[in-house]
Structure 1
């Protein structure tokens, strides 16, 4: 089942979302510091019953951040403003962890906009826990000249599957689902790199949000809260206290059980059909289908990211090293494509392997290349003959961070270079 991607303008902000399936609209709000990308597998499952609409919350993924120091009410109101911009009146919604906190805040402020919610894991912190989180959980995430921040980031994301919170390394805080899967870690790292220091605003609003569950006599849309064995928030089910009659909370055994319970609950709530949704006029994604490629390409203004670059979908399997498949994609587009000159140098040296490994060394490799190519052309020829004039702006850590993210997203760069050489382009 195909997932399409879109942008919509919400006032002066731009919001990115993913769409999949058919049926009543279902809003899906991700946990921090992830993006709507984390819901791709679930969207393909649930898309048989709903039009799944997974939003990037403000400051995460490809959505613009909220100004200033927003609180949970600002995130809740931003969600409802996005519903307005999309043309959605009343929806069912699903959120996991911090996504659930945003949804509950939105439901309390705008109950008329929701048929109901399913929430996976709802945190109810004690005062002491709130104090510890406030002190240690959200350090600034600022790029450093030589990329030291990337080592911290990789290990912070990796070890959060070992202990929770990540900075409290004790036997008592160990998690049962520990892993060292570099692909899983890298998915979260890439979302964190896209968010940058804005992650603190989103996370901070959620961590400091009041957990005032409506009183038992309150009349609200129905809510289901579930948490599975191994989820550090499962114990928080016992902290919820008395709930409104329309609210349910229970512990389940596995993530699959948690999703199945949520699906069954939401299926009873979702209503209507999904209207035609508003989209931004100067940026979006176009679906392209050829013999070798079937996916979405990102465009903004006159620029198009080819497969395996930027925000565009990757080639299935290995990117082609012959020019014909690339030309077929370009011919299938409804807009012109300008090919920039190839960088100097041999593709084998220009594009080393960036496959994520156990220790995240690919991140340091990409940062080192970003820094070196600000000084030499080609970047790997560090000698007087290949010096570039030094421009301090290109060595600014924020500029290097943007360049590094571009390098890490360019999965097809080597194949593209080889194909263009062979095709004479």
Structure 2
């Protein structure tokens, strides 16, 4: 795994590059986009399981990437995509596959629709479309302000958010009704997520709010590429639009079964 910074007109984006398997050199490179909070480091265990070349990018304001330039308007997913798209076009001059998870799904969809000729296949790993009646509550509460506090309260608050994302949805609804059927990751994995999230504290709120406001259903219906949509059992939504074209394959498996998930995604990308 190699680390690099990609210059764009709006700042630098940090990325992690994996060479893959030389026997799979004919496959297009895979661009990977992570969830929030955190960074592309959260995708490394999945990234190294793929045979094709891959580039996992820290989204703007996350991990070691520069934030979006300050503006008067609240940023949209299109604003985040602008920097990511520019970095992709500077790095690759060939067709690509795109993988996104949760917040990264939105950027992946936007790139797939903007670059419909360049993007060959799309993986949407945990699409997480909020119900309309939940939207105002999620916008208000899902991404609190983690401004550094002299007493260190922001450290504990960040840890609790990262931990409880695995246990509840939304993470702040800590009751039996909102319990997820998944467990905690290892202590090391949780620590890594917390540390990457602390680096991303300023970028978390604008990215999450943009992700919740993004019209995933319209973007899905506009997409021209074959897509693989994955979810754990608690995240499957009956009101996802029916995709007759492009062909979309559903996959449901526990998110902690990394080998099974990676194998299924790889089979789709290598087909």
**TM-score with structure 1 length normalisation?**
0.57
Q: Deviations over 1:282-316 (max 9, x none)?
A: xxxxxxxxxxxxxxxxxxxxxxxxxxxxxxxxxxx
**Root-mean-square deviation (CA), in Å?**
2.0
Q: 1:87 to 1:214 in 2, by over 3 A?
A: closer
Contact 1:120–1:258 (Cα < 8 Å) also in 2: no
1:96, 1:113 → 2: CA distance? 20
Contact 1:28–1:94 (Cα < 8 Å) also in 2: yes
**Structure-2 residue corresponding to 1:258:** 261
The equivalent position to 2:206 in structure 1, one of 201, 205, 220, is: 201
Structure 1 gap segments, 5+ residues each: 269-425
The equivalent position to 1:59 in structure 2, one of 58, 61, 85, is: 61
Q: 1:215 to 1:97 in 2, by over 3 A?
A: closer
**Structure-2 residue corresponding to 1:15:** 13
Contact 2:112–2:223 (Cα < 8 Å) also in 1: no
Q: Which runs of 4+ in 1 moved over 6 A?
A: none
Q: 1:43 to 1:219 in 2, by over 3 A?
A: closer
2:87, 2:262 → 1: CA distance? 25
Q: 1:249 to 1:220 in 2, by over 3 A?
A: same
Whether 1:28 aligns to 2:26 is no
Whether 1:227 aligns to 2:227 is no
Contact 2:61–2:202 (Cα < 8 Å) also in 1: no
For 1:246-395, list aligned pairs within 5 A: 246-254=246-254, 255=257, 256-268=259-271
Contact 2:109–2:223 (Cα < 8 Å) also in 1: no
The equivalent position to 2:82 in structure 1, one of 70, 77, 93, is: 77
Q: 1:86 to 1:253 in 2, by over 3 A?
A: closer
Q: Displacement, 1:205?
A: 1.3
Whether 1:243 aligns to 2:248 is no
Contact 2:29–2:53 (Cα < 8 Å) also in 1: yes
2:161, 2:230 → 1: CA distance? 26
2:154, 2:268 → 1: CA distance? 42
Larger Rg over CA atoms: 1
For 1:89-168, list aligned pairs within 5 A: 89-168=94-173
Contact 1:119–1:262 (Cα < 8 Å) also in 2: no
2:126, 2:89 → 1: CA distance? 27
Contact 1:213–1:243 (Cα < 8 Å) also in 2: no
Q: Displacement, 1:64?
A: 0.5
Contact 1:17–1:54 (Cα < 8 Å) also in 2: yes
Contact 2:217–2:240 (Cα < 8 Å) also in 1: no
Give the structure, 1 or 2, with the largest relative contact order (CA under 8 Å, sep 6 or more). Answer: 2
